[in-house]
Chain A
Amino acid sequence: MRDKTMSLEDFASAIEPGATVGIGGWGSRRKPMALVRALLRTDVTDLTVVSLGGPDVGLLCAAGKVRRLVYGFVSLDSIALDPHFRAARESGAVETAEYDEGMFVAGLRAAAQRLSFLPTRAGLGSDVLTMNPDLRTVSSPYDDEEYVAMPALRMDVALIHLNRADAAGNGQYLGPDPYFDDLYAMAADRCYLSCERIVPTGDLVRDAPVQSLLVSRMHVTGVVETPRGAHFTSCVPDYDRDEAFQREYAGAAKDPAAWRRFEESFLRGDEADYRAAVAGFHDAGGTGGAGIPGCAGRIGETDGPRGTRGIGERRG
């Protein structure tokens, strides 16, 4: 088996301007944040980002790297909306394609199957069809029903983060939810997999069931070992979301001066610098919020993900 391990810098230099980039995980859960931070350190721009979005989308929007955003939602889970996403929408800074979450998943499945579309009931009668005038319907050849023909969300590159992988790109999740990372891997021409730890192939199923092997090396181009590489999103069971740091991020995002300070503190160096700065934030007793009170999103207002879904549910 070929050794596909690479550095964050190797990964970042492999992403072309104008690429369509799918980002795995969900909201503020197991996002490939170290890969996103590596992209922030390049001059790559004009990206189309396809994501069930969280701070991955927020950071790329804030850095001016996104031309078009294709999403089912953009949420920080415990905070209802990513402030950078909200600002991008309210200022008209990015083109958007907003889909029902089930439609989005149908688009991933279509792309993974190399189909041009898949039929779905979701979207019929709603303004999703108004907001995406390119959407077409398809008539059933068997009865009088007509469905939304959800187009394939095909990508140039997929970025995913898993708990473990081997050097050849066999990837493993150890938490309760695979999200859709296997579909992203199959829906893209190239997939870059970051993981908490690269282990020998034989170790993958030593303490975990074979069902945890989510992604096969067939669909993986490069493997990057990035401990804490999903920070500040959750990567259960390795670590939970860093709520204090996420509050710091969201608070800073609401104010240009505070955001510049956040960038200076956390996003100016390499990944090692980032980890050191985060450790410093916690050593200084950081509780988050960038000094802005009441920065936590209102919970339970709408059909939110886990923050709102814990009392209620995570999604529509």
Chain B
Amino acid sequence: MKVLVAVKRVIDYNVKVRVKADQSDVDLANVKMALNPFCEIAVEEAVRLKEKGIAEEVVVVSIGPQAVQEQLRTALALGADRAIQVETDSMPDSLAVAKLLKGVVEKEQPQLVILGKQSIDSDNNQTGQMLGALTGMPQGTFASKVDVADGSVSVTREVDGGLQTVKLSLPAIVTTDLRLNEPRYASLPNIMKAKRKPLDVTNPEELGVSVTRTVKLLKVEPPAERSAGVKVADVAELVDKLKNEAKVL
């Protein structure tokens, strides 16, 4: 079976973002970029399926400017077989990404599509579900366990209050939660090998998708600063403050 994994280039999760002075957006000039952590988990899961002999081929896809090729190479170094870049000038919104991915799905005909549950920049948590609706595929979101057997996939999902298991007929969509696996590190030989793996570039026109944006970003602001608090001397004072001043106990 073929597994398609969608990956996104985002700001490294250790970087403290700064809002631009004109409040038009966050400042991404000269900041460290990386593979979105949830996408890394998605790649790892696909590679594990391949190592178990369940998947024959792992294809990674990313949408965005040329720079996303760096993250595609990272995914190839982690064990994906080949990569596709859908070249766009900027990062499209979730619905456009889902439409572009639908185009890739129709071309590649994967049995399983794995995505991260959300990207740590836009925090939307939408793309996998939208792709499900557009392709008519069932979805297993926020997956902490994935079992493929006999034309279906059992997905254990992290839901509020516990876990839920659903069984989906293939082809299906899975979005990863943090608990699904521990992504491996790419070794230097694998990074070198990844440079020779195929990376195809396509574009929205070839996929027959027009990328439009219906949600305008009016302003980006830093969140409200918290005012500095007080230091207490001991536990008794702390409990007293919480009871009588903050009134939260």
| Chains A and B belong together in one complex | no
Q: Mark B residues whose CB is within 8 Å of A.
A: none
